[in-house]
């Protein structure tokens, strides 16, 4: 039954699809659809406005209008469906693609290669595992155990020419797009990874564009959900392929964890 009540309104002209409002909505009422934040259903929005302060573009506001009543039971079912969909094993995805199967590669460097000047070195892959997409890597994948984690927006390897040499060497990489993918499953996946895999440190590499800036927050929220405090460094890459800035979250005072060097 509809009634006049407070509910969120999203200005699509202002919305840049960064996804921060999705992360802030505990009820899962907002999703990124076609690059814009949209209200999935009136009955999932409680009208409290927890997402308002997260939008960097000011695209959100609370209004009063006729809407379906907030339904807590429907919210729980909605969140359960999202979680179940995220837990489908990679091997059973509808695409049936064998490329989702876990693989670990042994990378070795000869003394000759190691001592060769960088300018004349033959470029080689530093990738040590497969798959690399955030939603395809199981939280219990063996290559995640005790790993230094590199979380990269999927435009970064294209923009930054020395990605393998400067970022990927010695790290496990997970890539994804915070603009076009739903942040909710990302947060849940990172929470499970941090809970299961004893990650040593995290580097998050993003582009300088606004829609990329939600990725570090997604990783932090996953970390918080798992009750972990892991050293985290954010690196921003310009669209011209240069490093625009770095920022580190201080490491916790635990001797068994070594912070990533800035």
- Could you state, in order of their start, the residue ranges of all structural domains in the chain? 2-86, 92-249
259 pLDDT exceeds 50?
no
Q: How many CA within 13 A on the CB side of residue 4?
A: 3
**Hey, which CATH number is domain 2-86, 3.30.70.20, 3.40.50.720, 1.10.287.70, 3.30.365.10?**
3.30.70.20
Tell me, yes or no, if the pTM score tops 0.75: no
Name beta bridge partners: 44.
Answer: none
Residue 7: the pLDDT is 94
E strands, 70-191, in order: 103-104, 129-130, 148-153, 172-176
252 pLDDT exceeds 70?
no
For residues 18 and 56, give the distance between their C-alpha atoms in angstroms, rounded to a whole number. Answer: 9
Q: What residues have CB less than 8 Å from 84, skipping those under 6 apart?
A: none
- The residue ranking higher by pLDDT, 200 or 17, is 200
Look-up of token digits 């693609």: 97
Confidence category of residue 95, pLDDT binned at 50, 70, 90: very low
What is the mean pLDDT of the segment spanning 122-133? 85
For residues 153 and 206, give the distance between their C-alpha atoms in angstroms, rounded to a whole number. Answer: 5
Residue 113: the pLDDT is 53
Residue 232: the pLDDT is 96
Residue 93: the pLDDT is 43
Nearest residue to 174 (alpha-carbon basis) of 213, 214, 129, 126: 129
Would you give the distance in Å from CA 141 to the centre of its chain? 17
For residues 200 and 197, give the distance between their C-alpha atoms in angstroms, rounded to a whole number. Answer: 9
34 pLDDT exceeds 70?
yes
What is the side-by-side order of every strand in the sheet holding 243-249? 172-176, 148-153, 201-207, 232-237, 243-249
Q: What residues have CB less than 8 Å from 236, skipping those under 6 apart?
A: 206, 207, 208, 243, 244, 245, 246
According to DSSP, residue 21 is labeled H
Residue 115: the pLDDT is 57
Contact by Cβ (8 Å): 31, 20? no
């Amino acid at each position: 039954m509809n009634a006049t009540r407070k509910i969120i309104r999203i200005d699509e002209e202002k919305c840049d699809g960064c996804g921060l409002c999705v992360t802030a909505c505990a009820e899962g009422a907002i999703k990124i659809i076609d690059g814009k934040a949209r209200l999935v259903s009136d009955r999932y929005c409680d009208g409290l406005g927890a997402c308002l302060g997260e939008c960097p573009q000011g695209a959100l506001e609370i209004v009063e209008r006729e809407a379906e009543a907030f339904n807590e039971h429907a919210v729980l079912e909605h969140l359960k469906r999202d979680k179940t969909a995220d837990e489908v094993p990679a091997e059973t995805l509808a695409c049936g693609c064998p490329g989702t199967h876990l693989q670990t590669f042994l990378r070795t460097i000869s003394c000759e290669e190691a001592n060769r000047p960088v300018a004349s070195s033959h470029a080689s892959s530093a990738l040590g595992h497969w798959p690399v997409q955030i939603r395809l890597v199981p939280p219990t994948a063996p290559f995640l155990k005790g790993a230094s984690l590199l979380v990269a927006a999927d435009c970064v390897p294209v923009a930054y020419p020395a990605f393998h040499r400067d970022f990927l060497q010695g790290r496990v990489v997970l890539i994804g797009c915070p603009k076009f993918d739903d942040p909710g499953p990302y947060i849940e996946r990172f929470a499970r990874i941090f809970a299961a895999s004893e990650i040593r440190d995290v580097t998050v590499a993003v582009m300088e564009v606004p829609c990329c800036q939600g990725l570090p927050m997604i990783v932090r929220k996953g970390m918080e959900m798992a009750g972990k405090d892991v050293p985290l460094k954010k690196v921003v890459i310009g669209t011209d392929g240069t490093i625009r800035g770095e920022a580190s979250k201080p490491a916790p005072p635990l001797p068994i964890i070594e912070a990533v060097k800035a």
